[in-house]
Structure 1
Amino acid sequence: MDPESDTAPSAPLILLVEDDASVRKALTFALGIEGYRLEVHDSAETLLRQAALPAPACVVLDLNLPGASGLDALAVLRERGLDCPAILITTQPKPPVVAAAAELGVRILEKPLLGDALPSAIRDLISR
């Protein structure tokens, strides 16, 4: 079953950036089941190479990506005028990461992502 094929064109779009293939597949499936449309990238660079970005409801980025980090990518997206809600997923964020995330207005979710933690956080952010 392809979760993306079952979503309506009007469903909220989530930009997902995750380098780990198994995590990326699991998150894609879980968010598709929740009814979201997804644009999925395996690195910050593949996302940032796009000349025109879609208008997402939320951006979900892993912190530790090859090349630019999730925070680096979000900083570039913010400079380009993308001001939608964002979620940074990571394990045990250190104080500088927490401070940088706060400055960029990004919510941190710590791994492991249990239950519906990510879909619930997305629902909370996009309903505001």
Structure 2
Amino acid sequence: MADALCGMPRPTPSARSLVIIVDDDAAVREALTFTLELEGFDVEGLGSGEALLLCDLPEVGTCLVVDERLPGMSGFEALRRLRLREVRLPALLMTSHPDFHLRTAARLAGLPILEKPLLGDVLSDAIRAALHS
């Protein structure tokens, strides 16, 4: 039986980078998945920060794209907890209208913020930059 990432069969190894999208809106996850797959990424979608924390995350070749406003635990909190567990995968925080406190906390944590709506190549460009930094 295949090793599992977040309860799903692990994708076959490839040269393509994996993007894990965490957003509670299934339509948003599907739209982002479709767009990123066209850009050449493998994509896994999750609906909560708690689901992300339960994943067996790869150590390399993966970028996390996490919505800030999630039910239960916020995206920022989920990423903070991963960092406490020494998970150092590149991550991007998505949100609409980030306030001063979130901008400051994200900057101090080294988390780039992507403001919604994500237009053009903003997301794929930010993922590529995060993966190569």
- For residues 70 and 127 of structure 1, the distance between their equivalents in structure 2, rounded to whole angstroms, comes to 22
**Are residues 1:22 and 2:31 paired?**
no
1:84 shift after superposition: 2.1
TM-score by length of 1: 0.87
Q: Structure 1: which amino acid aligns with 2:65? A: V
**What SS does the corresponding residue of 1:61 show, helix, strand or coil?**
strand
**Are residues 1:61 and 2:66 paired?**
yes
Alignment of 1:1-128 (within 5 A): 9-50=14-55, 52-55=56-59, 56-128=61-133
**What SS does the corresponding residue of 1:119 show, helix, strand or coil?**
helix
**What CA RMSD, in Å, does the superposition of the two structures yield over aligned residues?**
1.6
- Which runs of structure 1 show a deviation greater than 6 angstroms over 4 or more consecutive aligned residues? none
Instruction: Check whether the contact 1:61–1:87 (CA below 8 A) recurs between aligned residues.
Output: yes
Alignment identity in percent? 46
TM-score by length of 2: 0.84
Q: Which has the higher helix share?
A: 1
Q: What are the ranges of 5 or more consecutive residues in structure 1 without an aligned counterpart? A: 1-6
